Amino acid sequence: MQLPSQAEMTERLGVWAERYRVPGVSMAWMRGNEVVSAAAGVINIGTGVEATTDSLFQIGSITKIYTTTLIMQLVDEGRIELDAPAVTYLPGELRFSTPEITSAVTVRHLLTHTSGVDGDYFKGHGRGDDCVAKYVADAATLPQVYPVGHMWSYCNVGFVVLGRIVEVLRGMTWDVALRKYILDPIGATQTQTHLHEVMRYRAAVGHQIGADLAVSLPANLLMEPSAGPAGSTPYSSAEHLLKFAKMHIDGGVAADGTRVLSEASVRAMQNVEVDLPEQPGGFAQHWGLGWMLFDWGGRRVIGHDGGTIGQVSSLRILPEEKFAVAILTNSVGGGLLNGRVMHWIFGLADVEFPDRPKPPETPADIDLAPYVGNYERLGFEITVAMNDEGRLTTTYVSTEPLAGPLPPLPGPMWSVSETLFILQDPYFKTYAPVTFSDFEDGRPRYMFNSRVARRVD
């Protein structure tokens, strides 16, 4: 496959960054030992500092693969069993909403987002070494969305609990364990978690987009460090993110020959653990231990995405071809840019990138009334209503203090089947799949769009 040069990448990134209102972007692709990187734009519209290939961006939830790797190292050492209750490793410290749930949630449930715990909890607990422990102590206050193991719903809380397990078993903070057991062995000096280290580098800040589509700096630039193991704190350059990807591609061995993870654990992380609801478009079809798992035109792809306050990142890997791409952006529009870049570069690699979801030409002929109602999950109250044209609309009202500047507006939905709908974003006019499940008396109990929301009316 003929992959692009730095000059071509720089040109395209500049064009697409302007189109999708992304101030700055950095990316790199890797094939075997060959790495090519490029950057465009600025890391901060307030300072105008140029984005470069060694600029650090927040990688968000890509961090979850690092935390998974730390857990699997402990599995390799015989110190953790995946199907043991998580409380086994945090006795007297971990509690979920009931004793029954506490004893039922296993390490595997946390790694695969199947615990049922409502997971978007971002309360701060200071910047001390005990912030992760304090966060985990709050788990007892969090609602249970569905029975343990019943379905899949993205859960940040689970990975903070996993990070705390690492802290207890290693006898050090998660940040120190990450540096000692992963970052130093793979030589990822440009991956950092502490602000006093990030300040040594050219670091990007996030940007928001308003209702008038103007780009600005948000009031809050940083998430709380207590959620670090889930992705709130790490920064990285694109090239040093690929150092981590290469270690997994090479069966758990770093570039200098240091074994970081066993081959068995590398394979286990990439095996299918959970099949996700039907979600046409670029979202994963399956989930492994930490990894998102994709089937793109019959080709096996693994990866993860990340999002913090105004920063969006993506990592995709073709394990068999030893090929990987990392894209880092500093705008909420970064997801659109990342998708465009992935579509282009994987096309060059002869991989069939999935089309974005779009409404059906003819919506399914079904009774829409049973879907009308109120749904909720941590951070959002969701209303599904019927408009004057007889079409369903969905309105997300954020209850999270870190919410951006966009006021809630209803977005239209089109029915594809009795369980699958396509929702349009009222501002950016993009589309996303939404599924409904667990029908009782003809009405769905759950609404799913990467997270499960419970019907509450």
Residue with tokens 């992380």: 269
* Residues whose CB falls within 8 Å of the CB of residue 1, separated by 6 or more in sequence, listed in order: 348, 349, 350
> Of residues 26, 37, 55, 61, which has the active-site annotation?
61
**Four-CA torsion 215, 217, 219, 225, nearest 10 degrees:** 120
Active site residue 313: no
| Residue 282 near residue 355 (C-beta atoms within 8 A) | no
Beta strands in 363-406 (DSSP E): 373-377, 380-386, 392-398
First to last CA, the chain: 54
Residue that the structure tokens 């059906």 belong to? 360
Provide the token pair at 142.
Answer: 């969090």
* Contacts for 216-223: CB closer than 8 Å, 24+ residues apart: 216/45, 216/405, 217/44, 217/45, 217/46, 217/310, 218/309, 218/310, 218/404, 218/405, 220/309, 220/402, 221/309, 221/310, 222/195, 222/308, 222/309, 223/122, 223/308, 223/309, 223/402
The set of catalytic residues is: 61
